[in-house]
Amino acid sequence: MIKEIIVVEGKDDSVAVKRAVEAETIETGGSAIGEAVLRRIELAQQRRGVIIFTDPDHAGERIRKIVARRVPGCKHAFLPQEQALYKGDIGVENASPEAIRHALANLRTEAADGEGGLAEVTMEDLMQAGLLVHPQASERRLKMGNLLGIGYANGKQFYKRCSTFRITRDEFLRALQAMESEGESS
């Protein structure tokens, strides 16, 4: 049983999560997340902790930001888009139990206020890695986000996630090497 309560978008996501692991969920009801739901999430964070596990799409990221801003210290589970895709629909409900277990086993926790310190990964690191101002920057960020377990984001958000989730320079360089090696073998 997972101790924390998992925040998902809807009923189908809850069903998929409960097929994969023994856990309790709170459903946001989509991107129109209401005040009552946010209060339940705050209480869950105080009592048991919260894992935010939203769809790897724009709406899911919007919900993740709303919850994380309102309820600091949440853990985050990220699912690669290709593992959440079924007939053009992207969502946690489409992921296999194995993919869900993997995402929940590789949680990221935000740095608390005052705890983040200086970012180890710099904008210059992102530039040199071809994650910004590069013809394949978007594709490269998708691959790196999956390797680092922080999901896909645009350049500015990718940098922020590296800092927020305390990605070390060593982690970053290992993921970059893995991505480059994967590219050579393709």
Domain boundaries, the chain: 1-110, 113-186
- In this predicted structure, the answer to whether residue 24 has a pLDDT above a threshold of 60 is yes
**Given the structure tokens 């991505």, which residue do they identify?**
179
pLDDT tens digits for 26-66? Answer: 999 988 899 999 999 999 999 999 999 999 999 999 999 99
Q: Are 15 and 93 in contact (CB under 8 A)?
A: yes
CATH of 1-110, one of 3.40.50.1980, 3.40.50.2000, 3.40.1360.10, 3.40.50.1820: 3.40.1360.10
179: DSSP letter = H
pLDDT of residue 30: 83
Q: Are 81 and 152 in contact (CB under 8 A)?
A: yes
- Portion of the chain with pLDDT greater than 90, in percent: 88
Q: Of how many residues is the chain composed?
A: 186
Cα(96)–Cα(180) distance, rounded to whole angstroms?
27
Cα(106)–Cα(76) distance, rounded to whole angstroms?
9
Q: What type of residue sits at position 88?
A: G
* Average of per-residue pLDDT across 117-136: 89
- In this predicted structure, the answer to whether residue 128 has a pLDDT above a threshold of 80 is yes
